[in-house]
Amino acid sequence: MDFTLSPEQTQIREMVAEFVDEEIVPVAGEIDHEDEFPRDLVSEMADLGLMGMPFPEEYGGAGLDYHSYALGLEEISRGSGGLGTVVAAHISLAGNMIYEFGDEDQKEEYLTPLAEGADIGAFALSEAGAGSDVPAMETTATLEDGEYVVDGGKLWISNGSVADTVILFAKTDPEAGNRGISSFIVRPEEDDGFYVEGTEEKLGDKGCPTAELRFDGLRLPEERRLGDEGRGFVQALKTLNGGRITIAARGVGIARAAFEEARAYAGEREQFGQPIGEFQSIKHKLADMDTKIQAAKLLMHKAADNKIRGEDYIKEAAQAKLYASEVSREVANEGIQIHGGYGYTKDFPAERFYRDAKLNEIYEGTSEVLRNTIGDQLLE
């Protein structure tokens, strides 16, 4: 097995890393403090082709393989966990739904501006009573005279308040369980009946607005439906499966940021007449942190490799997301410990890494759900 990056992959990683170091890292603290959508930075990323990394060039994308996409998202997340979520929700969820399940007209009209970064995408699946239990959703879409009339609401929608295109899931047959769910393309600025009720004040993931949405008589033409009626649940599962690779990348990126900050601090902070990095207890912490990060990266790339090869990757994506999520939180926690009292203050970014890392264990499949998924795959 060859673990060497190709010249193109190396170039992508270095290009994104340079952008992150020059443009994102210097303002990451401000993004966290202000918690406003960093539209200027997103526009700059669009100019670099980062808002459509894995999509074909014919649809405005960069045509990168999934390894390169994961590497790019890892670097973006190293700079800002919130920006990592902005990109992951935009590409892996919203954009990928249209790419995988849209017809040619839908791809040309809606995927192209997403891949070019002219539009921002969101993925509206979760509801107050339907998080992990997707079939419990209550949002309905009733077909009337060639249009679907949508009523209901969604919660925890990343990019929801700033999105130009929202992929919406609703029940077209409420009696059919998970086989009665369909997906639709919504254009908030064009479609009457779409309302943003507000955004959440979160522990971390700042800069990525997490919105509550409401639909009151929202009317959508039939041609906005993605695929056949009743296929929405299967579409969502497939999309989330691929998205878990990129949440693993977000986890790796945040863990790397926490580790690099802790390592630098350990070389500078002196106690008892020497840098604290000279103490065995700190060396062991750094050794464990880096080892976990390297293992998480391998799981991430294993899942990406399976996806590229067209092999089944349900278990691999779940394992990558599960492990990288928990590693990001563990490494960030040790980063705070190495910083001591300073790590508990906002004078250093160590506490921000911890707050950003925690979300990885919750969204796009909680750690508990992922363990069920892995177990199911093992016992099939």
Number of neighbouring beta carbons within 10 Å of residue 283: 13
What angle do the packed helices 314-339 and 232-268 form, to 10 degrees? 30
Residue 259 lies in a domain: yes
Supply the pLDDT for residue 25: 98
What tens digit of pLDDT does each residue of 39-63 get? 999 999 999 999 999 999 999 999 9
Note whether 91 and 158 are same-domain residues: no
Note whether 247 and 326 are same-domain residues: yes
Rounded to an integer, the average pLDDT of 226-231 is: 98
Note whether 282 and 372 are same-domain residues: yes
pTM over 0.85: yes
CATH of the domain at 215: 2.40.110.10
Please identify, among 205, 232, 259, the residue that sits at the C-terminal boundary of a domain.
Answer: 232
Note whether 288 and 190 are same-domain residues: no
Percent of the chain with pLDDT over 70: 100
Note whether 111 and 139 are same-domain residues: no
Are 373 and 314 in contact, with CB atoms under 8 Å apart? Answer: yes
Supply the pLDDT for residue 2: 79
Supply the pLDDT for residue 3: 83
What tens digit of pLDDT does each residue of 285-326 get? 999 999 999 999 999 999 999 999 999 999 999 999 999 999
CATH of the domain at 283: 1.20.140.10
Note whether 116 and 29 are same-domain residues: yes
Mean pLDDT of the chain: 97
In total, the chain counts a number of residues equal to 380
CATH of the domain at 11: 1.10.540.10
Rounded to an integer, the average pLDDT of 92-109 is: 98
**Number of domains within the chain:** 3
Note whether 39 and 17 are same-domain residues: yes
Note whether 109 and 52 are same-domain residues: yes
Please identify, among 104, 120, 136, the residue that sits at the C-terminal boundary of a domain.
Answer: 120
**How far is 238 from 1, CA to CA, in rounded Å?**
27
Tokens representing 20 are 């992150």
Number of neighbouring beta carbons within 10 Å of residue 230: 17
Q: Would you give the distance in Å from CA 299 to the centre of its chain?
A: 17
Q: Under DSSP, is residue 262 helix (H, G, I), strand (E, B) or coil?
A: helix
Supply the pLDDT for residue 1: 66
Residue 285 lies in a domain: yes
Residue 2 lies in a domain: no
Residue 49 lies in a domain: yes
Note whether 282 and 301 are same-domain residues: yes
Supply the pLDDT for residue 29: 98
- Integer-rounded Cα Rg, in Å, for the chain is 21
Residue 217 lies in a domain: yes
Rounded to an integer, the average pLDDT of 269-296 is: 98
What tens digit of pLDDT does each residue of 117-130 get? 999 999 999 999 99
Are 352 and 29 in contact, with CB atoms under 8 Å apart? Answer: yes
Note whether 273 and 218 are same-domain residues: no
What tens digit of pLDDT does each residue of 195-212 get? 999 999 999 999 999 999
Q: What positions carry a catalytic annotation?
A: 364
Q: What are phi and psi of 349, to 5 degrees?
A: -80, 0
H or E stretch covering 182 = strand 181-186
What angle do the packed helices 367-379 and 314-339 form, to 10 degrees? 140
Note whether 364 and 251 are same-domain residues: yes
Supply the pLDDT for residue 380: 86
Please identify, among 70, 104, 120, the residue that sits at the C-terminal boundary of a domain.
Answer: 120
Short-list 324, 333, 308, CA closest to 365 = 324
Note whether 346 and 269 are same-domain residues: yes
Residue 1 lies in a domain: no
**How far is 138 from 140, CA to CA, in rounded Å?**
6
Residue range(s) defining the domain that contains residue 61 = 7-120
Tell me whether strands 181-186 and 225-226 are parallel, antiparallel or unpaired: antiparallel
Using alpha carbons, list the distances in angstroms from residue 66 to 69, 127, 321.
Answer: 5, 30, 15
